[in-house]
Amino acid sequence: MHWPPPYSLSASLHRAIVEQAQDAIIFADREGVIRLWNRGAEIIFGFAAAEAIGHDLDLIVPEKLRRAHNEGYRHAMETGQVRHDGRVLTTRSQHKYGSRLYVDLSFGLLKDEAGHVTGAFAIGRDATVRYLEEVARRTAAESHAG
């Protein structure tokens, strides 16, 4: 199959891909206000797009991690640099109903044509089961070793 060059893809095709992706795709503006929240984000975090868009990222950041997250976010907006650019990180998050989540996230900054940062995006998937299984294995191995 021959694919057309990327510049010929329509905006409606881009929207359809983002909306139908199983992974969460989230975009927040420079102030950390959520502007894009796809179906994958709805499934993982429990908030409908209408509940998330227009709200701060604190919606999904656990309270005890908010200060560090907000400082890092502001630093990224000011410097144009993401500390973990290009790496997938397993990070704590929270579901709409308060349950603890672990999410594999990759982060990036969106820049305009002039190179100015307009916000940040994250693409992620639920890693809660895998993470808790890894913790259980490590705990069991440590108890057998000790």
Tokens of 143: 């108890």
Q: Report the CATH architecture of 21-145.
A: 2-Layer Sandwich (3.30)
pLDDT at 143: 84
Residue with tokens 């984000």: 41
Q: Are 64 and 56 in contact (CB under 8 A)?
A: no
What CA dihedral angle connects 89, 15, 97 and 90, to 10 degrees? Answer: -10
Query: Tens digit of pLDDT for each residue in 39-96?
Result: 999 999 999 999 999 999 999 999 999 999 999 999 999 999 988 777 899 999 999 9
pTM of the predicted protein model: 0.85
Using CB atoms within 10 A of its CB, is residue 42 exposed (0-12), middle (13-18) or buried (19+)?
A: middle
